[in-house]
Amino acid sequence: MTARRKILICSALVFAMLACGTTAPTPKPPDVFLTGMVWKDNDQDGQQDVAENGLPGVTVKLFREEEGIFVFQESTLSANAGLFDFPPLAGGFNYQLEFVEPAGYHLTGQDLGDDNFDSDVNPITGRSVSTRETIAIDAGMIPEL
Ligand SMILES: [Ca+2]
Ligand SMILES: [Ca+2]
């Protein structure tokens, strides 16, 4: 076998390996679960304190990013303990929540202190951070006395 022929055969083999062997199917991104809690931030410090209760009946709207725009999908209400959730959402998209301030309440400050107990919502826009992954999104509401 000539050196030139050997190179040709090897090139063909490498090409075949690239064409056939390396195209593993793309795994489907896992579902996204968005849950959270709306609570009464009575002391207005942006943190869920032990003595502060959940706030039921707050409308939470779900948006999904499509071609750079967040498009409304559906809404839900916070339940008795202030908890809410959405059905499993298709992975691979950015999601964002909007919290509608009920009469007599306004949103507390965002990202104040410990992330496990803070409010994840911009009080000007009512919108949360956007996420592609399962996270808890909480919203503190300050009662207007
Ligand atoms: Ca508080
Ligand atoms: Ca948080």
Tens of pLDDT, residue by residue over 52-97, are 999 999 999 999 999 999 999 999 999 999 999 999 999 999 999 9
Max alpha carbon distance in the chain (Å)?
93
Q: Range of 90's domain? A: 34-143
**C-beta neighbour count of 108 within 10 angstroms:** 23
Answer whether residue 116 is part of any domain.
yes
Distance between Cα 90 and ligand 2 center (Å)? 22
Cα radius of gyration (the chain): 24
Here the CATH number for the domain that contains residue 39 is: 2.60.40.10
Total domain count for the chain? 1
Answer whether residue 41 is part of any domain.
yes
Distance between Cα 127 and ligand 2 center (Å)? 13
Answer whether residue 101 is part of any domain.
yes
Answer whether residue 59 is part of any domain.
yes
Answer whether residue 132 is part of any domain.
yes
Ligand with the closest atom to the CA of 120:
2
Answer whether residue 75 is part of any domain.
yes
- pTM > 0.95: yes or no: no
Distance between Cα 36 and ligand 1 center (Å)? 16
Answer whether residue 81 is part of any domain.
yes
CA–CA separation, 145 and 121 (whole Å): 22
